[in-house]
Amino acid sequence: MDIALARTFLQIVETGSFLGAAQRLNLSQSTISMRVKELESQLGQALFERSKAGATLTAAGARFFPHASTMVRAWRQANQEVGLSTRFKAVLAVGGQFSLWDRLLLRWLGDFRRTQPDVAVRAEVGQPDGLMRMISEGLLDIGVMYNPQRRPNLDVEELIDETLVQVTTAPAPVARLGPDYIFVDWGPDFQTEHATAFPELEAPGTVMSLGAIGLSYILENGGSGYFPERVVRPLIDAGTLRMVSAAPVFHRPAYVVHRRFEDGDPGHVALAGLRAVARRESVAAA
């Protein structure tokens, strides 16, 4: 079977429509339809029920889903492992949001490379939608992110409960949000809770979608903003930043999403390591 057919099938499942898959794969909708027709012909079963609302899996399609994921993952692994040095026995692909690579995933990666020197690691940075798509397609083994979406045959578990605290470069911290306040967009839940906590706040003058950039900005130019306590704790201890103790704190859980590993898979070791690093980070921030 052409691996492109399996990837097309997974994209339709991911987006919920033939049109969505066409946009993701940069193909025409007619090409997507032809691929599905070819796949259904090879399998002898209809895989999707189409309606104005999109495309949903038939019973046969639901049964084919884990096989399609396995096929794409096996092809990806084959491509990676064929070119591997003989000193590596496997490849592990791990992705995460940029803010979670800061300390958490980088510390895990260092530990993993020291304890598993015969496993090569491919590291990716992305947003939840893209990371989930890559895991569903078998392009990633493990993803660490905020606000994951549930997917068939993928396990989701809370990894760490991020505490977002307000910090400032000002010598005398006050809870009032001044003109130098930087609003970092930590997601829809944070937006709602922040608006409730600060109803008087007008539209902030600076909004940033990436926490690392927001933190770099206030360190360079001065100001205040909300950031994960585990990230800013060293800066607070060093006196570079001060915590606004009177300000409310917000919680933002991060999750690890992974396929179901077989016994002996390096993914089991990776997950245990991630949990251990998350526990250490939580204790360090407390």
Q: Do 183 and 125 have their domain in common?
A: no
The more confident residue out of 14 and 166 is 166
Residue among 161, 157, 164 nearest 142 (CA): 157
pLDDT value, residue 30: 93
Q: Do 121 and 141 have their domain in common?
A: yes
CA separation for the pair 46, 139 (Å, rounded): 26
Neighbours of 153 (CB within 10 A): 11
From 71, 103, 119, give the residue that closes a domain. Answer: 71
Whether the per-residue pLDDT at 73 is higher than 90: the answer is: no
Q: Do 84 and 52 have their domain in common?
A: no
Residue among 158, 141, 154, 108 nearest 265 (CA): 141
Which 3 state secondary structure label does DSSP give 218?
helix
Question: In this structure, what CATH number is given to the domain that contains residue 205?
Answer: 3.40.190.10
Q: Do 154 and 185 have their domain in common?
A: no
Q: Are 14 and 24 in contact (CB under 8 A)?
A: yes
Q: What percent of the chain has pLDDT over 70?
A: 95
Whether the per-residue pLDDT at 256 is higher than 90: the answer is: yes
pLDDT value, residue 283: 74
Q: Are 33 and 50 in contact (CB under 8 A)?
A: no
pLDDT value, residue 221: 95
Q: Do 248 and 265 have their domain in common?
A: no
How does pLDDT run across 28-53, given as a tens digit for each residue?
999 999 999 999 999 999 999 998 88
From 46, 71, 96, give the residue that closes a domain. Answer: 71
Number of domains in the chain: 3
Q: Do 60 and 193 have their domain in common?
A: no
Question: In this structure, what CATH number is given to the domain that contains residue 38?
Answer: 1.10.10.10
Q: Do 50 and 100 have their domain in common?
A: no
Give the range of the structural domain holding residue 217, as residue numbers without chain letter: 161-252
Neighbours of 81 (CB within 10 A): 13
Whether the per-residue pLDDT at 85 is higher than 70: the answer is: no
DSSP 62-127: HHHHHHHHHHHHHHHHHHHHHTS-TT--EEEEEEE-HHHIIIIIHHHHHHHHHH-TTEEEEEEE--
b (16+ CB within 10 A) / e for 137-147: bbbbbbbbbbb
Q: Are 143 and 258 in contact (CB under 8 A)?
A: yes
Determine the longest span between alpha carbons in the chain, in angstroms: 71
pTM above 0.75, yes or no: no
Phi, psi of 140 (to 5 degrees): -130, 145
pLDDT value, residue 216: 93
Phi, psi of 152 (to 5 degrees): -60, 140
Mean pLDDT of 245-272: 90
From 39, 71, 103, give the residue that closes a domain. Answer: 71
Helices (H), the chain: 3-15, 18-25, 29-43, 59-82, 98-100, 106-115, 128-136, 188-197, 211-221, 229-237, 266-285
Q: Do 7 and 25 have their domain in common?
A: yes
pLDDT value, residue 83: 60
Parallel, antiparallel or unpaired: strands 250-259 and 154-168: antiparallel
How does pLDDT run across 132-188, given as a tens digit for each residue?
888 887 788 999 998 898 877 789 999 999 899 999 999 888 877 888 999 998 888
Q: Are 143 and 134 in contact (CB under 8 A)?
A: yes
Q: Which two tokens stand for residue 58?
A: 């038939």
Q: Do 135 and 268 have their domain in common?
A: yes
pLDDT value, residue 107: 93
